[in-house]
Amino acid sequence: MAKSSENYILDTSALISLGSINILEQVSKVFSVTTTNSVIKELEEFAEYDDKYGKIAKNVLKLKSRLTIESCKVTESIKYIEPTDNELYNLALKKKLPLVTDETKFVHHTRHKIEVYFTTLFLIVLTEAKYFTKKGSLDKLEELRDIRNWRNNIIYLITKNQLEQL
Amino acid sequence: METEQFNIRMPKDLVQDLDIISKLLKVNKSEWVKTKLAEEVHEEKNKLLMELSTLYANGMISKEKIEKLVGKEVADEMESIKVIAQKSIKQGLEYGKKLRKLHS
């Protein structure tokens, strides 16, 4: 699998989403994935529990060596988001890299300041590039919908509609 | 937390039931009602907003109408989600095509 030059910053929600549908390894083979020490710490805290998020976090941490882990000083703060997210936001600003998150509040408060996407981006990439079949991707979207409790939300409906057209 | 007085009249039977719960659980009646009400309100609000966002995603309601119904903040957030969900698709398709070319 060829590695693209594209680099994305992923937050905890994005890593959990990709880990939950077992595509983080593939994504990290195709793209460079960057995150922060604070995100790794959050995942380690999740991993202390044996619930579904704990299990996913453990699997994500197994792929830690595939991620670029950085720290970033917060020089510009958004009051509506958590300190961990502010660090990611500052990293995206500093490195001029796109950020991927499934936190809708994070997206809402940063979308005019940085390039930001939902993790559904990777499902579409891998389907369009024929790494996954359309059916495989639709199944993964259903899994993601369950784990994220998306029900019939906007992200789910728009992505499902697109996948069905591929 | 800032609070506001909200008075409601309840049927006597319901108050008696609350007394039983309060005694058995050894909890304050008002606190218990407040917690249960908060859970119910949170659930119902999310359910209704989800239904509204489904209509919005399917183009069956405009942002302006949403703003009139639930306010600017919620309408703006729904718009952000829709725009970024569509942008994620667009970007995904572009990179997917690039990757396919790289392999062929």
Rounded to two decimals, the pTM is 0.89
Write the DSSP symbol of residue A116. Answer: E
* pLDDT tens digits for range A98-148: 999 999 999 999 999 999 999 999 999 999 999 999 999 999 999 999 999
A166: tokens are 């591929």
On whether both B52 and B69 belong to a single domain, the answer is no
Under an 8 Å CB criterion, which residues of B touch A? 50-51, 53-54, 56-58, 76-78, 80-89, 91-93, 95-100, 102-103
Whether residue A129 contacts residue B99, with contact meaning beta carbons closer than 8 Å, is answered with: yes
* pLDDT tens digits for range B49-99: 999 999 999 999 999 999 999 999 999 999 999 999 999 999 999 999 999
What pLDDT score was predicted for residue A47? 97
User: What are the sequence ranges of the domains in chain A?
Assistant: 7-119
On whether both B19 and B54 belong to a single domain, the answer is yes
On whether both B24 and B49 belong to a single domain, the answer is yes
Question: Can you state the percent helix, strand and coil of chain B, rounding each to 5?
Answer: 80, 0, 20
- Confirm whether B52 is domain-assigned: yes
On whether both B33 and B69 belong to a single domain, the answer is no
On whether both B55 and B71 belong to a single domain, the answer is no
On whether both B41 and B56 belong to a single domain, the answer is yes
- Confirm whether B93 is domain-assigned: yes
- Confirm whether B3 is domain-assigned: no
On whether both B54 and B85 belong to a single domain, the answer is no
- Confirm whether B2 is domain-assigned: no
On whether both B21 and B57 belong to a single domain, the answer is yes
* pLDDT tens digits for range A29-62: 999 999 999 999 999 999 999 999 999 999 999 9
What pLDDT score was predicted for residue A151? 86
For residues B16-23, average pLDDT: 96
What pLDDT score was predicted for residue B103? 79
Q: pLDDT-based confidence at B102, cuts 50/70/90?
A: confident
Interface pTM, i.e. ipTM: 0.94
On whether both B49 and B70 belong to a single domain, the answer is no
Structural domain boundaries, residue B75: 64-104
Q: pLDDT-based confidence at A2, cuts 50/70/90?
A: low
Chain B residues within 8 A of A158 when measuring between CB atoms: 57, 82, 85-86, 89
> What's the total number of domains in chain B?
2
What pLDDT score was predicted for residue A56? 96
Residue B17 sits at φ, ψ, to 5 deg, of -60, -40
Residue that terminates a domain, selected from B28, B44, B61: B61
> Buried b vs exposed e over B36-72: b needs ≥16 C-beta within 10 Å?
eeeeeeeeeeeeebeebbbebbeeebeeeebbeeeee
Q: In this structure, which CATH number among 3.40.50.1010, 3.40.980.10, 3.40.50.1370, 3.40.50.2300 belongs to the domain A7-119?
A: 3.40.50.1010
Chain B residues within 8 A of A6 when measuring between CB atoms: 95
